[in-house]
Amino acid sequence: MIKPNIGILNALIRITCGFVFLSYSTVRMVRHPLRKGSFFLSVMAAMKIGEGIVRYCPVTDWINKMEQEDQIENLRSNESQAENVINPS
C-alpha cells in the first residue's frame, strides 16, 4: 500500500480544486466539443481528485526523494573532504 505523503488539509484542497476544474472543463466540453484543451484539463482535474482521495502525490514523493539524495550526497562529500585533511602535528 502507498504511504500517504500529503496532509488532510492539502488533500481536501486538492479534492475541492479538482471538482471545480472538472466541472469547468465539463462545461467547456459541452460548449466547444472539438477543443482538446478541455479534455486535458478534465484529466488533470481527475488526477487531483484521485491524489486527494488517496492522499498520495507522486510529484511530492519524487521531490522528497531528490532532496534526500542531495542530502546523502552532501554528507558523503563532507566525509570525503574530512578524510583528505592533513594533520600538521
C-alpha 67/C-alpha 19 separation (Å) is 31
Q: Is residue 20 included in any domain, yes or no?
A: yes
Q: Quick check: 27 pLDDT over 80?
A: yes
More confident residue, 85 or 21: 21
Q: What's the whole-number average pLDDT of the chain?
A: 89
- Evaluate whether 32 touches 85 at the Cβ level (below 8 Å): no
Place of cell 478534465: 42
In a domain, 89, yes or no: no
pLDDT higher for 69 or 87?
69
List the domain range (segments joined by +) for residue 28.
8-83
Quote the distance between the C-alpha of residue 74 and its chain's center. Answer: 24
Asked, for residue 88, whether it belongs to a domain, the answer is: no
* Domain count for the chain: 1
